[in-house]
Amino acid sequence: MAYTVLIPARLASTRLPNKPLVDIGGLPMVVRVAQRVRDGLGNDVRVVVAADDASILRACEAHQIECLLTRTDHPSGSDRLAEACALLGLADGEIVVNVQGDEPLIDTGLIRAVADLLVVHPQASMGTAAHPIHDVDDFRNPNVVKVVTDAAGLALYFSRAPIAWWRDGFAQGISSLPDPAPLRHVGIYAYRAGFLRTFPNLPQAPIEVIEALEQLRALWHGHRIAVHVSDSAPGPGVDTPEDLERVRRIIGGG
């Protein structure tokens, strides 16, 4: 199946300056991500970096990675992706997968599985991923986003709270996990290009503001989100200098 992978790359980062360009094994991180996606998915998939700075554009061009320059004032990653769709002239029905530029260990099989969701679920505007939670601390952690789905694998709700709530088992507090295991949301998304162009213009949802989860805007406006459940967690991303050193050790050359 042909689709487009968009990799948003924003130069500013408070925790890791110039994050897209940090060196991992001799390559700028965003280039390493793009190469991993391109090599893992093959010629049917178009891989494009959506950058906000000319230095990222130059780094991509030096390594034969397709890149386009987007505005610097986008309030969210979705806005940047929407501009990229317009610049690329993608038709409404085309599928776009958003892969973050700080995921140099991304599983390309996961990308393919999330893209396939929109073929299997024609009623869905978006696709995403999750995996079972096996650690009680992760379940309690508000920085670990949880999701519950219906029988068809479509999202019912995303939350920072522990969901689904085990009425009887949690009467004395959360000391163990319910069965079946709750699901941790993984921040990879597939979109239909037409929906992605309209999404940033939808009014914010009250639940989105409360939870600080942008995907709740789609649910609140009646759009469906299909969820692929993988067996295990994806590889670590890079948000901090400590993350960077860990990934360098895994890849080598750091």
**Residue 223 sits in the same domain as residue 127:** yes
Judged on CB neighbours under 10 Å (0-12, 13-18, 19+), 202 is middle
pLDDT of residue 45: 94
Tens of pLDDT, residue by residue over 235-246, are: 888 989 999 999
Q: Which pLDDT score, from 0 to 100, does residue 195 have? A: 96
Segment (H or E) for 59 = helix 54-62
Give the residue from 51, 79, 106 where a domain finishes: 106
pLDDT of residue 172: 86
Whether the pLDDT of residue 254 is over 50: the answer is no
Same-domain pairing of 97 and 179 = no
Location of structure tokens 């994050």 = 19
Question: Are residues 173 and 228 both part of a single domain?
Answer: yes
Q: How many C-beta atoms surround the C-beta of residue 25 within 10 A?
A: 14
Q: 56-99: per-residue pLDDT in tens? A: 999 999 999 999 999 988 888 888 899 999 999 999 999 999 99
Mean pLDDT of 173-191: 95
Q: Are residues 149 and 85 in the same domain?
A: no
Nearest CA-CA partner of 20 in 61, 41, 51, 42: 51
pLDDT, position 12:
81
**Are residue 138 and residue 62 in the same domain, yes or no?**
no
Residue 224 belongs to some domain of the structure: yes
Do 97 and 134 fall within a single domain? no
Percentage of the chain exceeding pLDDT 90:
85
At residue 252, the pLDDT reads: 80
pLDDT for 75? 81
Confirm if 29 and 60 have CB atoms less than 8 A apart: no
For residue 182, give the DSSP letter.
Answer: P
Query: What CATH number is given to the structural domain containing 61?
Result: 3.90.550.10
* Per-residue pLDDT, 110: 96
Q: What is the mean pLDDT of residues 175-188?
A: 95
Count of C-beta atoms within a 10 Å radius of residue 83: 19
Residue 202 lies inside a defined structural domain of this protein: yes
Structure letter (DSSP) for residue 197: H
The per-residue pLDDT for range 184-198, each reduced to its tens digit, is: 999 999 999 999 999
- Asked which of 106, 136, 160 is the last residue of a domain, the reply is 106
Residue 148 φ/ψ region, left for φ over 0, alpha for ψ in the -120 to 50 degree band, beta for the rest? beta
Q: pTM of the full predicted structure? A: 0.91
Q: What is the DSSP letter of 154?
A: B
Report the domain count for the chain: 2
Is residue 98 within 8 A of residue 81, CB to CB? The reply is yes
pLDDT tens, position by position, 6-30: 999 988 877 888 999 999 999 999 9
Containing domain of residue 200, as a range? Answer: 122-234
CA pseudo-torsion sign 43, 107, 48, 251: negative
In a domain, 253, yes or no: no
Tell me whether residue 250 is in a domain: no
* Average pLDDT across the chain, whole number: 94
pLDDT digits 0-9 by tens, 104-126: 999 999 999 999 999 999 999 99
- The pLDDT, as a whole number, for residue 141 is 95
Q: Are residues 98 and 8 in the same domain?
A: yes
Average confidence (pLDDT) over 172-177: 93
